[in-house]
Amino acid sequence: MIYQPPVPLPGEHAASIMYRYFQMTRFTKFETMMKSEYNSKLDSPRRLWQPTFSMLAESFSSKYSLARFIEKYTNITDYSLFLDESVFKDSSVESMLNKLSGFKFHNALNVSQDVSWRYCPMCAREDDEKFGTTYFHVAHQCFYKRVCRKHNVLLEKSDPYHFSLPPVSSKSVVASQYDKNTDIALSSWVDALKEIPQEERKIRALNLIHQKICIFSYDRKNPYHVQRVQYVQNRLAKRFNRSHFMPYFSWGPLASGLYPLNSVVGLMGFLDPAKHFHPMIYLMLIDLFLKQDELDLSMQYSLASSNVKERVPQVVSPIEITDLINDNAA
């Protein structure tokens, strides 16, 4: 195909650029073009990299480096928040992208927030008036945001089974103060985490949670471990059910002992550093278990290595067993 992709619009996502490119071609169905020409499928924002994005990056290489294109027109930076050197080690940018093109998060299907591309109805109307087309914004695909900061309305979800640009006729829903506060709180956590070197974020965060629950190597044959983890899972379930995280997941209300807190996955499964869960799961655990000053305190201690099993020095106090018992009795 010899067409030149259209010039990106302000804050436009690469997937949206590809759709506008499709409108210039001989194809009648977007999915047909993506499959036959690029072996790609743009079904949700959580697919970190697609072969078709490489074509776009090459087309704009005179203006943007590959790294700059990734930062400006994709959400890889958001989704790689907790990916450590086991994914990026000894990788050039091109090699990293090859890895990410087939990368899948554990338990990603249980995160309902990003199963569809999202848009702001008011932005869509303004874009159509100004540019003659609607488009998907990179900022609206951020997995922990549900509110358009510009208009203070809730982001709408597009059809998950058919990719097309946002409609101009959608009604907007004003975000409640609770929704806005949630976005601000989660963004604050992300900003704090980004201050930590990429290879240390996951190590430090998971270690601090381990310190809170006071178990590092779970032994199912140890009655103390079993009881304490059960208490902690009960606390986590209760806190989750009272928190702002319900709209982000498809679990519904949590109950300890039932999926996803059962013995197969369980809290200790989420804290396994060798696995790469959806970043929304890590953000939820951090928000429910830690305080930002505890994360800041851990930064006073340097790590001898970036080994995911290395323990961070004890900087937070474990949850008292009496508190866990009282919390479970409530």
DSSP string, 289-323: H--HHHHHHHTTS--S---TTPPPP--SPPPPHHH
Q: Could you report the per-residue pLDDT of 173-206, keeping only the tens digit for each?
A: 999 999 999 999 999 999 999 999 888 889 889 9
Write down the H helix ranges in the chain: 14-22, 30-38, 51-59, 66-73, 76-79, 85-88, 93-101, 121-131, 177-194, 198-213, 223-241, 266-270, 279-289, 292-298, 321-329
In this structure, the answer to whether residues 253 and 134 fall within a common structural domain is no
Only one residue has tokens 């919390």, namely 327
Do residues 11 and 137 lie in contact, with contact meaning Cβ atoms separated by under 8 Å?
yes
In this structure, the answer to whether residues 185 and 152 fall within a common structural domain is no
- Domain boundary residue among 175, 208, 241? 175
Gap between the Cα atoms of 77 and 83, Å rounded: 10
Widest Cα–Cα separation across the chain: 69
Q: Give the total number of structural domains in the chain.
A: 2
264 vs 279, residue with greater confidence: 279
Given a cut of 50, whether residue 308 has pLDDT beyond it is no
Q: What percent of the chain has pLDDT over 90?
A: 38
In this structure, the answer to whether residues 206 and 314 fall within a common structural domain is yes
In this structure, the answer to whether residues 64 and 131 fall within a common structural domain is yes
Cα angle 180, 181, 184; round to 5: 90
Q: What pLDDT is recorded for position 309?
A: 53
Q: Could you report the per-residue pLDDT of 283-301, keeping only the tens digit for each?
A: 999 999 999 888 888 888 7
How far, CA to CA in Å, does 80 sit from each of 45, 135, 151, 280, 287? Answer: 13, 24, 27, 11, 18
Bridge partners of residue 119, in order along the sequence? 156
In this structure, the answer to whether residues 248 and 205 fall within a common structural domain is yes
- Domain boundary residue among 175, 194, 221? 175
- Domain boundary residue among 175, 198, 223? 175
In this structure, the answer to whether residues 194 and 237 fall within a common structural domain is yes
Given a cut of 70, whether residue 85 has pLDDT beyond it is no
Residue 28's CB is within 10 A of a number of other CB atoms, namely 8
In this structure, the answer to whether residues 149 and 82 fall within a common structural domain is yes
In this structure, the answer to whether residues 248 and 155 fall within a common structural domain is no
Gap between the Cα atoms of 229 and 55, Å rounded: 48
Q: Could you report the per-residue pLDDT of 147-156, keeping only the tens digit for each?
A: 999 999 999 9
In this structure, the answer to whether residues 148 and 203 fall within a common structural domain is no
In this structure, the answer to whether residues 163 and 14 fall within a common structural domain is yes
Domain span at 271: 180-329
Gap between the Cα atoms of 99 and 287, Å rounded: 29
Residue 28 carries which DSSP code? S
